[in-house]
Amino acid sequence: MPFVSRQRKFATLGTAMLGLWMWGGMKGNDTGGIIAWAPGVEETALEIASDHCARYGKYAVITSVHPWPGDYIGFACRRSGRFGPVSR
């Protein structure tokens, strides 16, 4: 059955990416941003936000999720150290 879960994971990822492409995707800067909500995007939102924040040498924290069409998932980019994981 691992093959079925892998197929489901790729289908969910594909749906999420399609939703991001169709509905404006992600907008952000070095302090954080928003990801357009679409069915299935919650599972990959942290990965998408982490990829964005890594460009600035930071890590991502999901701050809000509004799970209905036309709304967004908010995230913040934070520096490692005092209030988060220490980079090594």
pLDDT, mean of each 10-residue run, the chain (88 residues) = 58 57 73 90 90 93 90 92 65
Domain-embedded: residue 63: yes
Domain presence at residue 87: no
Q: What is the residue range of 66's domain?
A: 2-78
- Would residue 84 count as lying in a domain? no
Q: Note the pTM of the prediction, 2 decimals.
A: 0.66
pLDDT for res 1: 45
Q: Residue 50 is which amino acid?
A: S
- In angstroms, the CA 69 to CA 52 distance is 22
**Looking at the domain assignment, is residue 83 inside a domain?**
no
The SS3 call for residue 59 is: strand
Tokens of 19: 């939703």
Q: How far apart are CA 1 and CA 66, in angstroms?
A: 32
Give the pLDDT score at 68. Answer: 87
| Pairwise CA distance, residues 83 & 9, whole Å | 32
Question: By the 8 A CB rule, do 75 and 32 touch?
Answer: yes
Q: How many domains does the chain have?
A: 1
